[in-house]
């Protein structure tokens, strides 16, 4: 079985970038047959967020925390298939935190 890799741009804004080394844009390749947002979240948790102690600001369990907007190529994932949205080579997934401390 040949593993395919999907090249994505992951973008973190609205404060979520501090969870991933203050780097807004990450070019990544993720292995897997049918890559969904859910697969990306699991990959994020195991890879980019591995040493992060505030992972709860982005993820709640294996889901995106309420208050974090997810866009796929500038389209709100709620208009797509949310975490079941299929991704293809070159897609951009943006995480925008709308949570602000007071």
Q: Is the per-residue pLDDT at 78 higher than 70?
A: yes
33: confidence class by pLDDT, cuts 50, 70, 90: confident
Distances (CA, A) of 78 to 27, 46, 90: 24, 24, 20
Q: Give CA 93 to chain center in angstroms.
A: 6
Residue 76 host element (H or E) = strand 75-76
pLDDT digits (tens, 9 = 90+) for 37-73: 999 999 999 999 988 888 998 999 889 999 999 999 9
Mean pLDDT (the chain, rounded): 91
pLDDT at 51: 83
pTM of the predicted structure, to 2 decimals: 0.91
Q: Is the per-residue pLDDT at 3 higher than 80?
A: no
Give the CA-trace dihedral at 94, 99, 101, 102, to 10 degrees. 140
Q: Distance between the two ends of the chain, CA-based, in angstroms?
A: 51
Q: In what order do the strands lie in the sheet with 25-31?
A: 25-31, 5-13, 92-97, 68-72, 75-76
């Amino acid at each position: 079985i040949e593993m395919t890799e999907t090249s994505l741009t992951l973008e973190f804004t609205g404060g979520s970038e501090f969870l991933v080394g203050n780097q807004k844009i990450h070019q990544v390749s993720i292995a897997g047959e049918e890559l969904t947002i859910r697969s990306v979240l699991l990959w994020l948790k195991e890879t980019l967020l591995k040493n992060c102690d505030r992972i709860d600001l982005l993820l709640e369990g294996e889901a995106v925390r309420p208050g974090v907007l997810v866009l796929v190529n500038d389209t709100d994932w709620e208009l797509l298939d949310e975490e079941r949205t299929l991704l293809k080579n070159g897609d951009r997934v943006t995480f925008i935190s709308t949570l602000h401390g007071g």
